[in-house]
Amino acid sequence: MEAKGEGAKIDDYFSKLLKYIPTEIVGGWIAITGLIKSATGIPTNTILWVLLIIFTVITAAYILQQTSERQKPPAVKQTIISSIAFLVWVFALGEPFSSLSFYSPVYGSILLIICSLIIPLINPIESKVKS
């Protein structure tokens, strides 16, 4: 955010990390997967894969809405990075990826750590500011 009378403030590493990772969506995912996994008599794996697609779309829509500013282009880069961050979190949490033969929880943990270190290094600015 920019305060009145000040120049544009550049986010630090941790601010960027928090902005890129959609915690509200990850929290919703954790809650809904808990509900689905506790239900009986339903095609759990199929439902989780469908919900993964739906939540990824919701993530993109949510980030676009949260970052929209009048007379500025949409924050496409931040939206893509946040959607990838959501998928990485889901991969680290396991479901529905645990149904794939190659999946191991350690892969998700490693990927989550690497992404959490790399994501804040990406500059979210969509277009260069003219001097």
Q: Note whether residue 8 is domain-resident.
A: no
Q: How many domains does the chain have?
A: 1
How many helices (H) and strands (E) would you count in the chain?
5, 0
pTM: 0.74
Torsion of Cα atoms, 116 then 122 then 125 then 126, to 10°: -100
Indicate whether 2 belongs to any domain: no
Residue ranges making up the domain that contains 37: 13-121
Reported as a single tens digit per residue, the pLDDT across 14-55 is 566 666 777 888 889 999 999 998 999 999 999 999 999 999
Are 60 and 83 within 8 A, CB to CB? yes
Q: What is the pLDDT of residues 64-116, one digit of tens each?
A: 888 777 767 667 888 888 888 889 989 998 889 989 999 999 999 999 889 88
